[in-house]
Amino acid sequence: MTGPLGEGSRMLNDRYALGPAPLGRGGMGEVWPGHDTRLDREVAVKFLRFPDDSQDEDMVRRFSRESRITARLRHPGVPAVHDCGTKDGRPYLVMERVHGVSLADLIAEQERLSVGWAACVAAQVCSVLSAAHRASLVHRDLKPGNLVLEPDGTVKVLDFGLAVALDRTDMSQITRTGHTPGTPAYMAPEQLLEGRTTPLSDLYALGCTLYEMLTGQRVFTASTSFALASKQVSDSPTRVESLRADVPAPLAGLVEELLAKRPADRPADANEVYRRLIEHATSLEPIPGILHPPLLPSPHRMYGAALARVFG
């Protein structure tokens, strides 16, 4: 096997047996399936990829530091971090293995989601963002490809580890090598113009994602990254209600606020967005082939339903 450990090697740190092929690759990372032979459990192993394929010690140090911070983010919507290390100069994270369908694939298959499901997915993401922002973590690359809907209906937010490892000091090198800490189709204007990210930048990305769930279309499209970034900064998106008449006016208005060019014009925080979303998360229909049958008990839903009764 040719992989992150070299030709023919499949064992990492004498503990993690890697699968035969990666689960996915991105500009900054590569994820492999694995098995923790010590604890007999499935894992996912994520290796950091350097922008210019040469080792960057500063990125290694930041990755290790931020991995420890991310490991303290405890939330059912964030894959747990089990271990981290470096192999032949390449940092890696050992994480909980997630099973389900990415939101990007689900939208491609369904064309668009029902109002209830779009609101439910976005509300779960807000719960994760609330915990992350409280811990001073900003995702920086929130998008449908980084969200996974599991068979019991829960949503996992992926790629906190790689995203928070990048900060503004990386911008010149990353821009020079053609890699940006984010995806232009979901990046807030302040990210594109200044390389600056805040919790309100994550809310803009959530607005782009919610727009796509409801309409089946991206907020903006263009033939080049530069043209796309220019639209994010300067153009007004087509209004949700003009593309889909059954979206309630309050929900369409929330999307418009999330996509405000000025951070100060967006909702105050993820908690406010959650409160405005959850009332629309109703009439959730089964999704055959994606979700378990409705009558199959779900420990997560049981736990959540009981917890919802606390204080009201």
83 tagged catalytic: no
- Pair 284, 136 in one domain: yes
Specify whether 130 is located in the same domain as 250.
yes
Q: Tell whether 118 and 259 lie within a shared domain.
A: yes
pLDDT at 24: 84
pLDDT at 195: 86
Domain residues for 82?
15-96
Predicted confidence at residue 40, as pLDDT, reads: 97
Cα Rg of the chain (Å, integer): 20
Give domain status of residue 304, yes or no.
no
Per the residue annotation, which of 105, 141, 246, 269 is the catalytic one? 141
In this predicted structure, what is the pLDDT of residue 161?
Answer: 60
Is 106 part of any domain? yes
Mean pLDDT split into 10-residue runs, the chain, 312 residues: 69 94 80 96 90 72 77 91 87 93 96 97 98 91 96 92 53 42 89 91 98 98 94 96 97 98 98 98 93 92 94 84
Domain of residue 62, CATH code = 3.30.200.20
In a domain, 303, yes or no: no
Beta-carbon contacts of 270 under 8 Å, excluding residues fewer than 6 positions away, are 126, 127, 129, 130, 133, 199, 202, 203
Please check whether residues 116 and 224 belong to one and the same domain: yes
Domain boundary among 38, 67, 96: 96
Same domain for 233 and 86: no
What whole-number distance in Å separates Cα of residue 137 and Cα of residue 162? 12
**pLDDT attached to residue 255:** 98
